[in-house]
Amino acid sequence: MCVSAGCPNRAHCFSQGEATFLLLGQGCSRNCLFCAMGEEAVTPVDATEPQRVAQTVASLELSYVVLTSVTRDDLPDGGAAHICQTAREIRAHAPHTRVEALLPDFGGCRRALFLAATGSFSIVGHNVEMVPSLYTRYRSGGGFQRSLSVLHALGEHGIPTKSGFMVGLGETQEEVLSLISTLSDTGISVLTAGQYLPGRRGGITPKRYVSPEEFEIYAAHAQECGIASVRMGPYVRSSLNAADCFREICK
C-alpha cells in the first residue's frame, strides 16, 4: 500500500518495522477524485491473500502492521470477513505483531462493522478524509454522516478508534476546527491530518498548501478536545508512526 498510494513516508515507516498492506486488489468500487488508486476494475477475492500477507509479515519481522483495503461495494460484507481473516492469520504467524485496521465505510453495513470491531485488531480506523462541505465534489459514493456512524459503531464495542483527514482542498480554517470537534465527539483516540498532494496523473490540484503553523493550530485544538494522540503536519498520513500513536493511547 505504501508504494501504491505514493506515500512520502514509506522509507521511514519501514525502517521502524512498520508497513501497511492493501487488501482486496487495486480496483475500487468508487472513484473519489483525491485518491491515488486510479480506476482499475475490481477483481475476484484472492482467498490465499490472508495467509500470504501473514507470511510476509512474519518473514520481515514487522512489529506493527496496518491492514487497509479499497472499497468493495460489490461484496456483501464489503470485504470485512477477508480483512479480519488476514488479521487472524497474522496473529497465528507473527503473534507479537500489533495489527491495526484502516477500514472503508462498508456502505454502513452493521454486520461488517461488527466483524471489524470484534476482529483481531489493536485499534480500528476510518478516515473521514475531508470536511463535510467537500464530499459532493470529491468523494464519490461516500457520505460524511455515514462515516461518523461508522466511527460511532466501531467505538460501541470498546475498541480504540482512529480517524484522519486532508487539508488543502478548499476548506476554511473554521470548517477544520469544527470537523475536529465533531470527530472528538465520536470518541476517537487518535486523529491525523496532512496536506493533500495529488497522487496520480489527472488528480485534483491542491487549492493551497497549509503552513506548519496552521497545522499547529489544528493540533492544539484536537488536544484541547481531549483526543489522546494527535499527528498533524504537511506530510502526515494516517499510518505514519501508527505504532507510536497506539503506545500513546495505552499509557
- Average pLDDT, integer, range 180-187: 99
Q: Does residue 4 sit within a domain? A: no
Q: What is the pLDDT of residues 9-34, one digit of tens each?
A: 666 777 789 999 999 998 887 877 77
Q: Does residue 151 sit within a domain? A: yes
Q: Range of 113's domain? A: 10-249
Q: Does residue 40 sit within a domain? A: yes
What integer pLDDT is reported at residue 2 of this predicted model?
Answer: 52
Average pLDDT value over all residues in the chain: 92
Measured between alpha carbons, how far is residue 63 from residues 25, 29, 122, 189, 241 in Å? 24, 31, 13, 21, 12
Tally of domains within the chain: 1
- Binding residue ranges for [4Fe-4S] cluster: 2, 7, 13, 28, 32, 35, 239
Angle between helices 80-93 and 110-117 (to 10 degrees): 10
Q: Does residue 244 sit within a domain? A: yes
Q: Which helix (H) or strand (E) holds 178?
A: helix 173-185
Q: Does residue 62 sit within a domain? A: yes
Q: State the pLDDT confidence band at 112, using cuts at 50, 70 and 90.
A: very high
State the CATH number of the domain containing residue 31.
Answer: 3.20.20.70
- Binding residue ranges: 2, 7, 13, 28, 32, 35, 239
Q: Does residue 96 sit within a domain? A: yes
C-alpha grid cell, residue 70: 479499497
Q: Does residue 169 sit within a domain? A: yes
What integer pLDDT is reported at residue 27 of this predicted model?
Answer: 83
Q: Does residue 5 sit within a domain? A: no
With H, G, I as helix, E, B as strand and everything else as coil, classify residue 192: strand
